[in-house]
């Protein structure tokens, strides 16, 4: 057991004890889930002649739409950690494949807004729909309080991962990694 500072929303925090073995087991389960989801995504990408970055871009654009955010090429580059030339090549490739479209922003004609096409949505639904339904069925076994706890846990894990991503990877030899000193896709 170790004590950690548990930082809650609205500025509340408290010390609490955490069973390291239980925490490690949970992290390993999450890692195994992440690996399975990555493998499934790679299978989808390969089946449709896409790169895994194309799939991540589609997910980012769909998530932005659900959140009511404007997905622009610059924003997408930030989400994917790639430079503007790489974003342009990615968007050209995805537009040619009929997966996204670039629309001029009505408020700022210099800016492009990205949208996923109905074709891309249909492809995703055909492939990932069964997983979505199976996952929803798993949730049916939980009551409302348990579902709220699961949501709170997943949101917390997402925040923890985001903090780690912003901090950047550390090399085990104590030196700073290249990705910490430059963005992915930028020249070395």
Q: Which pTM does this prediction carry?
A: 0.70
% of residues, the chain, pLDDT over 70: 79
% of residues, the chain, pLDDT over 90: 59
Q: In whole angstroms, give the CA distance from residue 19 to residue 25.
A: 10
Give DSSP secondary structure letters for 73-109.
HHHHHHHHT--HHHHHHHHHHHHHTTSEEEEE-SS-T
Given a cut of 90, whether residue 182 has pLDDT beyond it is no
- The answer to whether the beta carbons of residues 90 and 45 sit under 8 Å apart is no
In 3-state terms the chain splits into helix, strand, coil percentages (rounded to 5) of 65, 15, 25
**Residue where the block lists tokens 């074709």:** 119
pLDDT digits (tens, 9 = 90+) for 5-49: 455 555 555 555 656 688 889 999 999 999 999 999 999 999 888
> Distances in Å between the alpha carbon of 5 and those of 8, 14, 102, 160?
9, 6, 45, 13
- Please count the other Cβ atoms lying within 10 Å of the Cβ belonging to residue 26: 13
């Amino acid at each position: 057991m170790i004590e950690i500072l548990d930082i809650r929303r609205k500025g509340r925090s408290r010390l609490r004890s955490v069973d390291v073995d239980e925490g490690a087991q949970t992290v390993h389960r999450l890692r195994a889930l992440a690996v399975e989801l990555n493998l499934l995504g790679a299978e989808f990408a390969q089946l449709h002649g896409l790169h895994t970055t194309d799939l991540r871009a589609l997910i980012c654009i769909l998530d932005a739409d659900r959140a009511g955010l404007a997905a622009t090429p610059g924003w997408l580059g930030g989400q994917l950690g790639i430079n503007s030339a790489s974003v342009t090549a990615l968007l050209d490739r995805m537009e040619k494949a009929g997966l996204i479209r670039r629309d001029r922003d009505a408020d700022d004609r210099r800016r492009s807004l990205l949208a996923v096409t109905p074709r891309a949505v249909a492809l995703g639904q055909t492939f990932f729909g069964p997983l979505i339904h199976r996952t929803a069925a798993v949730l049916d076994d939980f009551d409302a309080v348990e579902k709220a706890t699961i949501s709170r846990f997943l949101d917390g894990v997402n925040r923890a991962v985001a903090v780690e991503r912003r901090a950047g990877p550390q090399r085990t030899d104590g030196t700073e990694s290249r990705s910490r000193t430059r963005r992915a896709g930028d020249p070395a």
